[in-house]
Every structure is written in C-alpha cells, then in structure tokens.
Structure 1
Amino acid sequence: MTTATLVRQDMEVQLKLTWDRFLNTREHKAKEDLALHYLPLVSYIVGKIAMGLPSHVESCDLESIGVLGMMKALDRFDSSKDVKFETYASYRIRGAIIDYLRKQDLLSRPLRKKASLLDEACDKIRQRTSNLPSVPEIAKEMGISEEEVNKIIWKSSSSYVIPLDKENTIQDEEGSTPLGDTIRDLKRNPEEEFAQKDLEAELTRAIEELPEKQRLTLALYYFEDKTLKEIGAVLGVSESRVCQLHSEAVFRLKQRMQLPSN
C-alpha cells in the first residue's frame, strides 16, 4: 500500500469522524472543518457558472455567495436520505449563485439598450415570419452589420442564466432545489405539474432544434461537465469560440422560449 493511499484513507477516516461530530452534536468547530473541506466544491461550481459572465462580475463575490449556500446545505442536509452531501450541496451552492445573479444588473446601460433593440427587432421579425429570426435578418432589421449583431448576442446572452441541470429543479425559500433529493413529499397541483412538464418538453424541443455545435456545446458543458478546453478539442475550435457557441445557444433558446431579458 502506497503512502498516498494511506494518507487518503486517513483523510477519509477523519472526514467521517468530523461528519459524525457535526451530525450528532452540531458542533461549530466540526461545521467549520467541513466547510473548509468542501471549499474546492464551491470554487469548481463558481468556475463553471462564471463562464461567459461579464468581466465586471467578481468571482470572489460568487465565491462568497457559494459559501453561504454551502453553509445552508450543511444546516439542512439530511443524512438519512440516500443522497451524497456533495450532490445536495452542489445544487444548493449553484442555486444560491444563480439566485444572486438573477437579482444583479449584469449589463451596462449601453449594452442593455442594444440588447433591448435587438429583442424588439426579433419580435418584429417573428411577427412577420412566425419563425426564429436569423442573424442576417436581425442585422437588416436593425441596420447594423452581422458582426455587430453577433457581438450583442454574445455579450448580452452571456449574462442570462439558464439553470440547465442533470435533474429538474424548483424554487423554494432557499433557492433552487433538486426534485427527488430533498422534497419528494412536496406535492404540486395538477395544473402546476402539467405546466412544468409542458415547459420541459418545450425546452427539450428547443434544444433539439439548435445547430449541432451549439447543441453539443450545451450537452458537453452542462451534462458531461467538460471544460472549455475539452469542449474545444471535441469540436475542433478555440475556447473563445466555445464561449461564443454557448452564448449563441442561450440566445436562441431565449428567443425560442420567449424568455424575458435581464
């Protein structure tokens, strides 16, 4: 048995003992030790969410929100359920950050105005043609170049957060929560259930209608946990191009679903 294996086993034993102390006594020191142990999970989730966000959004702010989400996860975690803490905490951390971002004004005033004009142009085209507008159509409607349209799409869509996860989520008083993990006893009325399923079906159709590279970008990023570099290698494009594909995909989904702007 190697030294590395022995060290890893010792760490696992210490972690279990810390969990036992916290779950049995709610000891503050044990909670702090657990929080320190799971800090890398917060950093990982922040890194995933931060992709494509405007440069003025500080990662340290997202880290702070993520840590608060993790602390709430520790307080609310039910060890009797068949769910790993990492799984439960990931949803709590991500939900806290997404809720925070939704409340922020991520667009500068000039960009917000351009994004608003772009939305108006898209609405006019959709009313005339009953189809999702293309970049050339938008450029013609706005009287600007296709390159400028792409820039607006890239910058504005990057600030729009769509919580695509491997499992469906709902909102509660603490933020986004995974269905099936902690709220199996929460009942929705038939109308809510139908609306939820209808929305899921519509989103699935919208994703299926995306161009192949955009669809693959979303699949690899949200469902396969691939990094930008890894996605770029699969698609044969640069990391910056992956960011652009992601933004374009979000924009098309927003238009297809007619979601509100930030």
Structure 2
Amino acid sequence: MYTAQGRMEHQSQLEAYLPMVRRQALALQVKLPAGVDLDDLIQAGIVGLLEALGRFDASQGAQFTTFASQRVRGAMLDELRSRDWLPRSVRRQARALDEATRELQQRLGRPPEEHEIAEALDMDLVSYRRLLSDVNNGQLMPFEELLAEGNEHRFSDQIGMAPLAELLDGERREALVAAIAELPEREKLLMALYYQEELNLKEIGAVLGVSESRVCQIHSQAVSRLRARLSEH
C-alpha cells in the first residue's frame, strides 16, 4: 500500500531532482531548432523522472542519479522523436539532396562543392542554403545518438535515415567513421565541435566565423554527405 509517508518521500525526491531535469532540458535545447519549447522538454523530462522513481532498484548496483539522468534524457529524446518536423515537400527535397550528393561524390571522386550540389538540384545557392536550413530543422540531432556507444534508442526515420542499431553494427559503424573522416575539413570540424566538444551553435559559429544559421546549414550538408556515403553500405 502506498502510504502518506511514501507519497511525501516520493514528492520530496521529485522536487530534489527537478533542477537536474531543467539543466538537461536547457543543455538539449541549445542544440535544437528555435521552435522547440523548453517547457515541453521539461514536461517530458518529468515523465522520465517519475518513471525512474517508480522503477529504480538499488539492488542492481546503479546510482539513482545516473539512472534518473538516463531516463530523463531518454524521455526528452522520445518526445522529440514523436514530432513530425518536416513537411512532405521538404522530405522529397531532402531525398533529392541526398541522391544528388551521392551521385556527385561517385562521379567526381571527392566531396562535391555547395554550388555543384545546388546546380544538380537546379537551384541557386540561396535556395539551396534555404533547403539546408529546412532539412536541418527536421534532423534535430540524429548523429549525437548515432555516435553514442551502446545507446538503446532508435530515432525515427524522418528523412531516410537507417535505424541506429543497424548503423552501429560492425562494418556499418566502421563505414560511418570512415565517412566522417572523408568530410571536408570545415564540416569535419563542425561535427567534432558539436558532438565531441558539445559546443552550442553560437559557440561553433564563433569558431568558424559564421552565423548560427550558417552553422545549421553546414551541419545539414555534412549529414547529407554522411547519409549518401552510408547508403552505399
């Protein structure tokens, strides 16, 4: 039976870990499109915290703080995955972007330049960069999960990305590492700053000498190159 004392302890634990939920939400928000509401992330995180409080088993040897932190972050990512970010028209253009990138890579034997991809898509450079911004708003942060060892979550197939479990399997993981190594230097640096150094968009922009919106475009272009390379495997 759940006693009054038990409810009080549960409420006390919940309140004690709410600052952790907010910190995680803030850390996640800076990596996401501007339209993502902080309160939505916090609410999802609270659901994860409640689940952690209900499921934690101290006999398993794990620390509750670690267990709760994982549950909170997982709940926030699940909330983000549940959203349909991209209109169908942008999805179609995203697939065309990947295909053009793949074909040019094969034909040229090197990563294609922006203007070459734009020309293949019959776009001017301004329209091409606008497409990159639109596509990036739907990607959220797929490669953060993609590069995490042992992550059990799978992100949704928003724009043709294969399941995480498949990409982390043996040869495909090696293919991913190789594909990242083949990125143009600026895109490779961006990926390292974003996923390894965990800088936010403003900080990356300062390093690269570009605006935050341009960082999003470069990130989107890098992800498209990686998807194109991985499609060959």
* TM-score (norm: length of structure 2): 0.71
Which residue does 1:40 correspond to in 2? 19
Cα deviation for residue 235 of structure 1 reads: 4.0
More RCO (CA 8 Å, sep 6+): 2
- The answer as to 2:183 corresponding to 1:210 is yes
Per-residue CA deviations over 1:157-203 (Å, capped at 9, x if unaligned) read 332241526841343xxx57xxxxxxxxxxxxxxx899623233222
1:84-132 C-alpha deviation (Å, 9 max, x unpaired): 4443333322322323333321013443343243234335445655765
Structure 2: which 5+ runs fail to align?
A: 155-164
Counterpart of 2:230 in structure 1 is 257
The aligned residue for residue 138 of structure 1 is: 117
Instruction: Give every structure 1 segment of 4 or more consecutive aligned residues whose post-TM-superposition deviation is greater than 6 Å.
Output: 192-195
Equivalent in the alignment of 1:226: 199
Number of equivalenced pairs: 217
Matched, 1:118 2:100: no
SS in 1 for 2:183: coil
> If you compute each CA radius of gyration, which structure gives the higher value, 1 or 2?
1
- Matched ranges for 1:242-253 at <5 A: 242-253=215-226
TM-score w.r.t. structure 1 length?
0.64
Contact 1:77 1:88 in 2 (8 A): yes
CA distance in 1, matches of 2:79, 2:229: 25
> Structure 2 vs 1, CA of residues 169 and 120 (structure 1 numbering), >3 Å: closer, same or farther?
same
**Identity across aligned pairs (percent)?**
37
Q: Name 2:142's counterpart in structure 1.
A: 162
Aligned twin of 2:159: none
1:253–1:244 CA distance, 2 compared to 1 (3 A): same
Change (3 A) 1:138 1:38: same
For 1:253 and 1:194, the matched residues in 2 are separated by 12
Superposition RMSD in Å: 3.6
Distance 1:207 1:31, change over 3 A: farther
Quote the offset at 1:204 in angstroms: 1.9
| Equivalent residues of 2:179, 2:230 under 8 A apart | yes
Structure-2 separation of matches of 1:193 and 1:227: 28
Amino acid at match of 1:204: V
Q: Give matches, 1:100-119, under 5 Å.
A: 100-119=79-98
* One-letter amino acid of the structure 2 residue matched with residue 246 of structure 1: H
Q: In structure 2, what is the Cα distance between the partners aligned to 1:142 and 1:194? A: 28
Structure 1 pair 163–63 and aligned structure 2 pair: CA distance change class (3 A): farther
Offset from partner CA, 1:22-43 (integer Å, 9 cap, x none) = xxx9933323322323223333
